[in-house]
Amino acid sequence: SFLTASQPRKTGGADIQVGISVDQVAAQKIGTQTHLPSLEIGIEGGRQAGVCDSGYSCAYQSNIAWRSPNQPVAKEINPKLAFERLFGMSLTDVKKSQDRDFYRTSILDAVSEDASKLSGRLGRTDRQKLDEYFTSVREIEQRIGRAAPQKRQLPPEFDIPQGVPADVDAHIPLMYDILTLAFQTDSTRVATFMLANGGSNRTYSHLNVKGAHHQLSHHRDEADKVADLQKIDQYLAKEFARFVQKLKSIPEGEGTLLDHSMILYGSGISDANRHRHEDLPIVIAGKASGQLQTGRHLVYEKETPMANLYLSMLDRMGTPVDAFGDSTGRLTNL
């Protein structure tokens, strides 16, 4: 229920219900402006039916994006398939398409130049016919120009993924690169990335962590388990920071891609050892095109609903709503 701000119905059957997620509220309003209304990616697949924990459906653990209160939006964990979803074709087809578009544009430019030279040597009637043709050429050029921003141009340095990496330390950064590409090419303006399913018991052997994630989260204040859990938290935070730095390195307009973005990083639990769901530590990166001040640590009153932040984010997306989830108002001083 992290992005829905709603209490899920306790069920293991088909009658799941939790609430629409904030990303989908935005996607339903601005999703028609891009190739994909939204993009959902993750690292673990997970079950979509049956009971996973304490009588609750596995669908609640496996999804954070919900198109409606009872319809989750399944995430893609295969970076190759996520890439192909962005472009609707393989890498080879993308490059062929880009080469073809460049060729067509170059032909139009050449025709325009030759037509201008020829016009001065023609009679009135022929010049009128040529002008009509020249006007048609210009109209086609304008149509190509209007369509160009919508084409997902592949950055030359991007290497197409070949499948699901065997190691999580390769999988996570690759999915972040897919997410960067999605924003860089304006394929979508709304996305979610699940770094782990709810209750994930994945291991992080590359960090020299002995236990599994969920087991370590119930550490009972044992120092060695707390230390291992901190390694995982720090690793995931560093990967997020790398993603943010990548967005910051990409020029866009008068600023960077990060300047024009609003990225939320966090989870729905603050202390898994005690199952605490309040006082959530949340990071907001990006300036939302000048609508957010960064570089600050803000502390709000206890029991301030997370939904209040979502309302404020929706405002800055240009997709305002009167209320969301258990909201009581909007956050100030953002």
Residue among 91, 87, 282 nearest 186 (CA) = 87
Beta bridge partners of 194: 42
Beta-carbon contacts of 228 under 8 Å, excluding residues fewer than 6 positions away, are 207, 209, 210, 211, 216
Can you tell me the distance from the alpha carbon of 196 to that of 229, in angstroms, rounded to the nearest whole number? 14
Instruction: Give the list of residues 6+ apart from residue 167 with CB closer than 8 angstroms, or none.
Output: 206
| Count of C-beta atoms within a 10 Å radius of residue 157 | 5
DSSP 80-129: HHHHHHHHSS-HHHHHHHHHHHHHHHHHHHHHHHHHHHHHTTS-HHHHHH
CA–CA distance, 285 with 264 (Å, rounded to integer): 7
pLDDT of res. 99: 55
Q: Highest-confidence range of 112-116, 159-163, 238-242, by mean pLDDT? A: 238-242
pLDDT of residue 221: 86
Per-state percent for the chain, helix, strand, coil, to nearest 5: 45, 10, 45
Token pair listed for 191: 């996305």
Q: Nearest 10 degrees: CA dihedral of 176, 177, 183, 184?
A: 160
What mean pLDDT do residues 120-149 have? 58
Element containing residue 58 per DSSP (H, E): helix 58-62
Residues paired with residue 192 on neighbouring β-strands, in sequence order: 40
What is the rounded radius of gyration, in angstroms, for the C-alpha atoms of the chain? 25
| Chain segment 285-318, per-residue pLDDT in tens | 999 999 999 999 999 999 999 999 999 999 999 9
Give residue 49's pLDDT.
84
Check residue 40 and give left, alpha or beta (phi > 0: left; psi -120 to 50: alpha): beta
How far is Cα 334 from Cα 319, in angstroms, rounded to an integer?
Answer: 17
Look up residue 16 and give its two tokens.
């799941």
pLDDT of 269: 81
User: Is residue 193 scored above 80 in pLDDT?
Assistant: yes
pTM of the entire predicted model: 0.79
pLDDT of residue 175: 93
Answer whether 157's CB lies under 8 Å from 163's CB.
no
Instruction: Answer yes or no: is pLDDT of 136 > 60.
Output: no
Give 227's contacts (C-beta < 8 A, 6+ positions apart): none
Nearest partner of 190 among 97, 280, 60, 73, judged by Cα: 73
Strand partners, 263: 285
62 vs 135, higher pLDDT: 62
* Cβ neighbours of residue 102 closer than 8 Å, sequence gap 6 or more: none
What per-residue confidence (pLDDT) applies to 146? Answer: 44
